[in-house]
Amino acid sequence: MGYNLLKGKRGIIFGALDENSIAWKTAQSVHDEGGTFVLTNAPIAMRMGQIDELAKKTGSQIIPADATSVEDLDNLIAKSVEILGGKIDFVLHSIGMSVNVRKGRAYTDENYDFTAKGWDVSALSFHKVLQSLYKADAMNEWGSVVALTYMAAQRTFPDYNDMADNKAYLESIARSFGYFFGKEKKVRVNTISQSPTATTAGQGVKGFDGFISYAEKMSPLGNATAQDCADYTVTLFSDLTRKVTMQNLFHDGGFSNTGVSQEVIEKF
């Protein structure tokens, strides 16, 4: 597309694994809009993914960081400011995993060590990222931080398991931290509640294919794709949304406001 919406803006993008991931698509869209950024992921995810290829394509450097480690995050932020030549304008938090889901533990049979680990990675890491940015005064005024979430934070999707609780916590952090970051630094903090999306993370959820096609039939505009999400994220990073903060923004083709659709009625 290319409207130069992010010309001269600098950022950090967490969580690009492979070309299906929303963070990967967002990095490409940000690049197309003139933004520069540092890519980061957990060392283990970097071994699994193809992040080097994305770095080449977008002329970006990669800094490995465990998003649950404050020391790693402080280092990531300091190095990013150095590499990019100034303070940060945008950050994407695109991180989530549940050990309970991976190990096939039901919500009614959680291993709480697994729960704590998943919560740290999926939810508390967002607070850690925000706090590190805030304490380092690393964000420019009118900067923008976006985290990805899912509607299971508000409504029950049985197989989404403890990730639903993680996402509810994540969304609360956006409101709570968004207040202080807005008041004191003019930085905005929002979450995007995305349609179910066929990413590596998404496909780990049981019955995922049925779930995607149900959402498709329920949404008047159909599901939002990873690319659609990338484009929406670009608008939130841009100066066109300066007064949008502390919001959970549904990006789901209308799913969240649809009680039932004609297609679903006909199916049953």
Q: Where are the beta strands (DSSP E) in 20-130?
A: 36-40, 61-62, 88-93
Residue with tokens 């290829």: 53
Annotated binding site: 15, 21-22, 95, 167
What residues does 146 pair with on adjacent strands? 92, 190
Residue in 112, 150, 179, 214 annotated catalytic: 150
Residue in 3, 107, 160, 214 annotated catalytic: 160
Q: What angle do CA 259, 264, 266 make, to 5 degrees?
A: 130
User: Is 160 among the residues known to form the active site?
Assistant: yes
Annotated binding site for NAD(+): 15, 21-22, 95, 167
What residues does 92 pair with on adjacent strands? 13, 146
Asked if 246 contacts 189 with a C-beta cutoff of 8 angstroms, the reply is yes
User: Is 169 among the residues known to form the active site?
Assistant: no
The domains located in the chain, with CATH, are 10-267 (3.40.50.720)
Give the containing element (helix H, strand E) for 178.
helix 163-185
Please state the φ and ψ torsions of residue 141, each to the nearest 5 degrees: -60, 145
Please state the φ and ψ torsions of residue 259, each to the nearest 5 degrees: -75, -55
pTM for this prediction? 0.97
- pLDDT tens digits for the chain (268 residues)? 689 999 999 999 999 999 999 999 999 999 999 999 999 999 988 888 799 999 999 999 999 999 999 999 999 999 999 999 999 999 999 999 999 999 999 999 999 999 999 999 999 999 999 999 999 999 999 999 999 999 999 999 999 999 999 999 999 999 999 999 999 999 999 999 999 998 887 877 778 888 899 999 999 999 999 999 999 999 999 999 999 999 999 999 999 999 999 999 999 8
pLDDT at residue 1 in the model:
61
